[in-house]
Homo-oligomer: A and B are copies of this chain.
Amino acid sequence: MNVLIVHAHYEQESFSSALMHCAVDVFESGGHEVQVSDLYKMNWNPVASASDFGEREHSEYCVYALEQRKACQAGTIARDIAGEIEKVKWCDLLIFNFPMFWCSAPAILKGWIDRVFVSGLFYGGTRFYDRGGMTGKRAMVTLTLGGRDHMFGKDAIHGELDVMLRHLVRGTLGYCGFEVLKPFAAYHVPYISDEERGVILDDYRIALRDIAARQSVDFPRLSDFDEAMRPLRPSV
């Protein structure tokens, strides 16, 4: 199995980084290949703009998704984007590893998605969810939070973590066709002891070793919708 970890923490000694190193260790020990895109170390540019393309289809006005398609075909997309696309093509499992900022990924990772998940390859037209470009690959979100676990859930103050992360798990990864495994969340990280953090690392190690058994998130199937993406059977 080929594993790509996209990591987004500015501190190399952070617990988020420890989770990344833990994953590298587990997968390499298991005989898998691992690549890490350490976005802060790479000084990744997260800003999608017209300068991501060489020669443009429309020089006077940039439609980002359109230029993505053309530039990928012509091989003129920015080199940093092209490199990351190759890594995603190569991988069987993609892991986003980050500290939760505002119930989402840090901007540097959001901008990796904005620029790398190109139209035409990852999705396009009616190619999304189970017809998305990344079907056959798995993905997972691994995040650290300041909040406690009881702050997330059905009656909890912030509601369900899965709902807060829906834009990422379903709207992004699921949309592109990835089979998305249940997120791994490390709660209350800045306030707990090294021993407690060690327990989380042990849990993570076990979860990754047994990743074939990890539950995945349900997404819509396009066969339940018509060509205009209206539901064939309204729910009762």
Query: Within 8 Å of chain B (Cβ to Cβ): is A54?
Result: no
Chain B, Cβ-Cβ closest to A128: B157
B46–A46 contact, CB under 8 A?
yes
- The answer to whether A165 and B164 touch (CB under 8 A), given A10-B48, A46-B108, A235-B155, is no
A148–B229 contact, CB under 8 A?
yes
A107–B229 contact, CB under 8 A?
no
Query: Within 8 Å of chain B (Cβ to Cβ): is A172?
Result: yes
Query: Within 8 Å of chain B (Cβ to Cβ): is A184?
Result: no
Q: Bound complex: CA of A129 vs CA of B165, how far in Å?
A: 19
Query: Within 8 Å of chain B (Cβ to Cβ): is A198?
Result: no
Residues in B whose Cβ lies below 8 Å from that of A63: 190
Query: Within 8 Å of chain B (Cβ to Cβ): is A113?
Result: yes
Q: Bound complex: CA of A113 vs CA of B61, how far in Å?
A: 27
Residues in B whose Cβ lies below 8 Å from that of A61: 11, 13
B46–A40 contact, CB under 8 A?
no
Query: Within 8 Å of chain B (Cβ to Cβ): is A92?
Result: no
Q: Please, what's the 1-or-0 string for A117-157, where 1 marks a CB less than 8 Å from any CB in chain B?
A: 10000000000010000000000000000101011001111
Q: Which of B40, B108, B159 contacts A166 (CB 8 A)?
A: B159
Q: Which of B47, B101, B129, B172 contacts A103 (CB 8 A)?
A: B172
Q: Bound complex: CA of A108 vs CA of B64, how far in Å?
A: 15
Residues in B whose Cβ lies below 8 Å from that of A114: 101-102, 106-107
Distance to closest chain B CB from A126 (angstroms): 10
B46–A150 contact, CB under 8 A?
no
A167–B104 contact, CB under 8 A?
yes
Distance to closest chain B CB from A192 (angstroms): 14
Query: Within 8 Å of chain B (Cβ to Cβ): is A220?
Result: yes
Q: Bound complex: CA of A40 vs CA of B51, how far in Å?
A: 12
